[in-house]
Amino acid sequence: MVKNSFISVIPQEEKEENSGSAEFQVFHFTSKIRRLTLHLELHKRDFLSQRGLLIILGKRQRLLTYLSNKNKGRYKKLVDQLDIREQKTR
């Protein structure tokens, strides 16, 4: 259901072409991260879920880095829309 709410924002002609876009993948990873975070608040000793969460966080971080290098405007818009912190610059 959450996925459909994000897709409805995208115009119809772009849906078919951009279903694997970086923005959509970051949105999908963010929803998974939020679900796993809620799960880990209840089950603190679920170490396999913790490992899965760290893997997903790394994938999202790599996608955000890619997006920020390619197009800063799209990156800023996505970070604001998903209410996530911006990356630290080295």
How does pLDDT run across 22-43, given as a tens digit for each residue?
Answer: 999 999 999 999 999 999 999 9
With pLDDT > 70 as the criterion, what percentage of the chain qualifies?
79
In a domain, 88, yes or no: no
**Given this model, what pLDDT does residue 4 score?**
59
The tokens of 73 are what?
Answer: 């405007």
How far is C-alpha 29 from the geometric centre of its chain's CA atoms?
A: 4
Helix axes 47-70, 22-42, angle to 10 degrees: 150
In a domain, 35, yes or no: yes
In a domain, 59, yes or no: yes
In a domain, 36, yes or no: yes
Q: How many domains does the chain have?
A: 1
Range of the domain at 29: 2-6+19-82
Average pLDDT over residues 3-17: 54
User: What is the model's pTM?
Assistant: 0.77
Average pLDDT over residues 61-90: 91
In a domain, 25, yes or no: yes
Q: Please report which confidence band the pLDDT of residue 18 belongs to, taking 50, 70 and 90 as the band edges.
A: confident
CATH of the domain at 61: 1.10.287.10
